[in-house]
Amino acid sequence: MEKFKTAVILAGGKSSRMEFDKQFIKINEKRLLEIMINKLRKEFDDIIIVTNKPKQYVGSSCKIVCDEIKQRGPLSGIHIGLKKSSSKYVYFLACDMPNINIDYIRYMKEKIRDLDVDACITRVGNRLEHFNAFYSRNIIKDIEKLLLENCRAIVYLTDKVNTFYIKEQDARKYSPNWDMFLNINTKEDLNSYINSLDG
């Protein structure tokens, strides 16, 4: 099994603050998800989309999957993404994270290539960036146990398994303004992001 073949985009959130489903955001009449997929194809052979609306992806070039353990939040998405992946380590991000940083992805790969870790996550202060991160197929059973105990927070997982943490100062070399972790959560966020593209 290859080490770094698969990327997963989680597109099943509730989008409650956006007032419409974030997986269908469009930028200049093109779906943001398609823009992200095209960027990820520079680095990954297999792209998986985890969605609660699979019928909206008929004809997609990606593998489309749904949560196996329902109503448990993003941890369910990580679970099914790992199960359906074709590599030991799988890159995860959310569908509202448009600023894919290929150089940082390659940096993370190099940091863990020769290690036997379960996850690679960036730390910023006391906070963890659980996406724009790698997880290993080795932790599928750990996730299932947490989900069945109704433990939904990803931090329960990363505290439990062998996680490699990248320091903020090292990550900022690749994204000084931290925009590679930007989430588009509201219409204001979306407008701000579109304006930044025009700039």
> What pLDDT, on a 0 to 100 scale, did the predictor assign at position 132?
98
Averaged pLDDT for residues 66-77: 90
For residue 47, which of 6, 100, 80 has the smallest C-alpha distance?
A: 6
Q: Is 73 annotated as a binding residue?
A: no
67 labelled ligand-binding? yes
* Average pLDDT of the residues in 8-36: 78
What is the average pLDDT value for the chain, to the nearest integer?
91
Pairwise pLDDT comparison (58 vs 44), residue with the higher score: 44
Model confidence at 188: pLDDT above 90: no
Residues pairing with 93 in the sheet: 9
pLDDT tens per residue across span 118-154: 999 999 988 999 999 999 999 999 999 999 999 889 9
Beta bridge partners of 92: 8, 133
* pLDDT score recorded for residue 133: 98
45 known ligand binder:
no
Query: Which pTM was predicted?
Result: 0.93
**96: annotated binding-site residue?**
yes
pLDDT over 80 at 14, yes or no: no
**More confidently predicted of 29 and 82:** 82
The sign of the torsion formed by the CA atoms of 93, 188, 27, 29 equals positive
The verdict on whether residue 12 carries a ligand-binding annotation is: yes
* 128 assigned to a ligand binding site: no
What's the mean pLDDT in 177-193? 87
Q: What integer pLDDT is reported at residue 13 of this predicted model?
A: 62
pLDDT at 57: 85
- The span from the CA of 128 to the CA of 146, in Å, is 19
Strands 26-27 and 30-31: antiparallel
pLDDT band at 71 (very low <50, low <70, confident <90, very high): confident
Give, to the nearest 10 degrees, the angle between helix 74-83 and helix 140-148.
Answer: 150
The CA-based diameter of the chain, rounded to the nearest angstrom, is 47
Is the model's pLDDT at 61 over the cut of 80? yes
pLDDT at 109 over 60: yes
- CATH architecture, range 6-198: Alpha-Beta Complex (3.90)
